[in-house]
Structure 1
Amino acid sequence: MKRRNFIKNTALTGVGISSTSVFSKSILNELNMTQKYPVAVATWNFQNATKMAGTMLEKGNSALDAVEKGVMVEESNLKNTTVGDGGAPDRDGNVTLDACIMSPDGNAGSVVYLKEIEHPISVARKVMEETPHVMLAGEGALQFAIQQGFKKKNLLTEEYEKAWKEWLEHKEYKPIINIENHDTIGMLCLDEKGDIAGACTTSGLSYKINGRVGDSPIIGAGLFLDNEIGGAVGTGMGEAIMKSVGSFLIVELMRQGKSPQEACEEAVMRTIKKAPNYKDFQVAYVALNKKGEIGSYCIHKGFSYAKFYKGESTDNLSDSYLDE
């Protein structure tokens, strides 16, 4: 009996091994179908930025390198007046830049109120990698950038200098919803290894009070990620995003089991519940989880996000919004 049982068990084990092998291949095929990465996604219709990042990802570059190079495209874009070179000045005529970056290991770097440096995102990465700090500000950030080899540059274009002088005649300060689809660029990348990184960079609100800093360089507000869960980026009225720590909230909601879409919707609802004047400003989020699933939600229609996946860059107008 023992011998027969042994032979029987051996035969069953052999079948089990064969079945497991087939089963494993089936599971792997299913996972390959459900995992949608590498992928790059960014706030607004910045397809050149996502194309740069997405192409790098497809070549095997890391998510961290991809998000940095991706947003740098817009930092150099003079037609984009809310990011980097050519950005709108504050009320005193200063172009001041804010940026932050996060790596898959949870490390982060940030710069605020940085002048005369075209690529604040690269300075933020240097802060992350070369110092024990997370954030540097103002003259200290500029000094550090120069020490790291960055060159000073006049970021105020003749066109925007003229516009600023015309603004001085009336000095009307009013946030513009959606700003013709040009606003802060926040980007998330998921590379072929399944690692996620994020970056956010801006010149802030046009004609802001000298010294104003918004949500973009604040870890947990304009950008947050957890490599076990996913990431989120915000855009719009920075003050509202800061008050709700929106990006951190979205990641924590995804940790609790919500989809990226559900998490973005909840974050926006948290804001409008606390802000009776929510119709006067825009807040929008984009989230990406570890499967490569994307969600977005905003207060007002008109928000879009760019995505690069499988060699294709697309503009995705968000049809999910609270309403006006």
Structure 2
Amino acid sequence: MTYAMIGTWRMAYEGLCKGIDLLKDSGTSADAVETSIKEVEDYPFFKSVGYGGLPNQNGLVEMDSAFMNGDTFAVGAVMGISDVKNPISVARSLSHDHFNSVLVGNGATEYATQNGFERKNMLTERAQKIWRKRKREIEEKNLSPYDGHDTVGMVSLDQSGSISVGTSTSGLFMKKPGRTGDSALVGDGFYADSEIGGAAATGLGEDIMKGCLCYEIVRLMGTGLSPQDACDKAVYPFVKKLKERYGKIGEFSLVALNKEGQWGVATNVEFTFAVGTEDSKPAIYIAFPGENDTTKIDPITQEWLDAYSKRIKAPID
């Protein structure tokens, strides 16, 4: 059987490369997802996930993460976990429990401590500088505090036909303590069914969760639609409906993978993602909303990659 993997944003690429290597060597989709997301969580310059993630309004890094096994529908999730090195590993561990598989706040952190997961202060000096700068801007310029909410989501298919999905995020920058978005909510931020496929979301969780879009994409793939058609059909009509009824809308970006290793993407903003399959080595692409409720996808340019690397590592005043 074939294997494949897709992940949200440029930040997914290095982790996805490790995941693809595991899949190539007959590794499991679950191991590929966890390994890939841990790579993102551990990199300090990705400011919306794990170590280096941006804190809430009180200066605390609160993280959300989830894991789903598409063979069994087993789900594990943590919301508002703090000072734990790899939330995705905690979420995967919780997916083995029938009861208490979703934990929040102090309960999630306590579970991680009691079960031997590595503790770590996840607030870096760089992230703290960004937080202090934004606090000043809010006070002096009356700017909105909310700037940045990118989730890493990974969907993986292994050679045995199993599909797994995982997500991890530090959530909305300057969020209120205890806030959570879509990333750890099954059906909203992620969904997987090994008989069909899987999907993961990134963007403004408060709006993504209004549409249960990951479940809807998998459901549509189950009717015979390709991942790309399913993404387009689920996302763009709902974006229009939400804007009409609610009056405004945040960023939406979703990725999907089916049991044949085909993939799809839909977005209402400029959106980068990484993907690799048995037939094509891992690569980064950029997507835009296209005409007639379709998605335009192009290969990433070296110029874009160079600018990205410079931007995420730029000194903080």
User: Which amino acid in structure 2 is aligned with residue 313 of structure 1?
Assistant: P
Distance in 2 between the 1:76 and 1:185 partners?
A: 12
Q: Is the CA contact 1:230–1:288 (under 8 Å) kept in the aligned structure 2?
A: yes
Provide the residue aligned with 2:239 in structure 1: 271
SS at match of 1:155: coil
User: Which amino acid in structure 2 is aligned with residue 161 of structure 1?
Assistant: Q
Provide the residue aligned with 2:255 in structure 1: 286
User: Which amino acid in structure 1 is aligned with residue 100 of structure 2?
Assistant: H
Distance in 2 between the 1:271 and 1:135 partners?
A: 29
- The worse-fitting range, judged by mean Cα deviation, of 163-172 and 280-289 is 163-172
1:199 to 147, 166, 182: 166
CA 1:228–1:206 in 2, change beyond 3 Å: closer, same or farther? Answer: same
Q: TM-score, normalised by structure 2?
A: 0.84
**How many Å apart are 1:175 and its aligned residue?**
4.8
Distance in 1 between the 2:229 and 2:247 partners?
A: 20
Distance in 1 between the 2:266 and 2:124 partners?
A: 33
Distance in 2 between the 1:238 and 1:272 partners?
A: 17
Over the aligned positions, Cα root-mean-square deviation in angstroms equals 1.9
Provide the residue aligned with 1:299 in structure 2: 268
SS at match of 1:48: helix
Provide the residue aligned with 1:40 in structure 2: 5
Distance in 2 between the 1:129 and 1:58 partners?
A: 25
Provide the residue aligned with 1:121 in structure 2: 88
Gaps of 5+ in 2: 296-317
Distance in 1 between the 2:247 and 2:226 partners?
A: 24
Distance in 2 between the 1:56 and 1:320 partners?
A: 32
Identity %: 34
CA 1:192–1:84 in 2, change beyond 3 Å: closer, same or farther? Answer: same
Distance in 1 between the 2:24 and 2:49 partners?
A: 26
Instruction: Kindly indicate whether residue 19 of structure 2 is the aligned counterpart of residue 53 of structure 1.
Output: yes
Provide the residue aligned with 1:173 in structure 2: 144
Provide the residue aligned with 2:33 in structure 1: 67
Instruction: Kindly indicate whether residue 177 of structure 2 is the aligned counterpart of residue 210 of structure 1.
Output: yes
User: Which amino acid in structure 2 is aligned with residue 287 of structure 1?
Assistant: A
- The worse-fitting range, judged by mean Cα deviation, of 196-205 and 253-262 is 253-262
1:220 to 182, 187, 190: 187
**How many Å apart are 1:319 and its aligned residue?**
4.5
Provide the residue aligned with 2:311 in structure 1: none
Provide the residue aligned with 1:107 in structure 2: 74
Distance in 1 between the 2:67 and 2:239 partners?
A: 24
Distance in 1 between the 2:56 and 2:40 partners?
A: 19
Provide the residue aligned with 1:256 in structure 2: 223
**How many Å apart are 1:194 and its aligned residue?**
1.3
1:244 to 168, 186, 211: 211
Distance in 1 between the 2:146 and 2:231 partners?
A: 22
SS at match of 1:49: helix
Distance in 2 between the 1:81 and 1:257 partners?
A: 38
SS at match of 1:129: coil
Provide the residue aligned with 2:121 in structure 1: 154
User: Which amino acid in structure 2 is aligned with residue 299 of structure 1?
Assistant: N
Q: Is the CA contact 2:5–2:257 (under 8 Å) kept in the aligned structure 1?
A: no
Query: By percentage of residues, which structure has more helix?
Result: 1
User: Which amino acid in structure 2 is aligned with residue 186 of structure 1?
Assistant: G
Q: TM-score, normalised by structure 1?
A: 0.83
Q: After superposition, give the CA deviation of every residue in 1:131-165 in whole Å (9 maximum; x if it has no partner).
A: 62320011111110011101321111111112212
1:308 to 272, 276, 294: 276
User: Which amino acid in structure 1 is aligned with residue 8 of structure 2?
Assistant: T
Distance in 2 between the 1:72 and 1:56 partners?
A: 14
Q: Is the CA contact 2:145–2:173 (under 8 Å) kept in the aligned structure 1?
A: no
Q: Is the CA contact 1:68–1:122 (under 8 Å) kept in the aligned structure 2?
A: yes
Provide the residue aligned with 1:317 in structure 2: 286
Gaps of 5+ in 1: 1-34
Give the length in aligned residue pairs: 283
CA 1:270–1:54 in 2, change beyond 3 Å: closer, same or farther? Answer: same
Distance in 2 between the 1:275 and 1:92 partners?
A: 31
**How many Å apart are 1:280 and its aligned residue?**
5.6
Q: Is the CA contact 1:118–1:153 (under 8 Å) kept in the aligned structure 2?
A: yes
CA 1:213–1:50 in 2, change beyond 3 Å: closer, same or farther? Answer: same
User: Which amino acid in structure 1 is aligned with residue 9 of structure 2?
Assistant: W
Distance in 2 between the 1:69 and 1:94 partners?
A: 25
Distance in 1 between the 2:66 and 2:55 partners?
A: 20
Distance in 2 between the 1:286 and 1:250 partners?
A: 9
**How many Å apart are 1:211 and its aligned residue?**
1.2
Distance in 1 between the 2:257 and 2:240 partners?
A: 23
User: Highest Rg: 1 or 2?
Assistant: 1
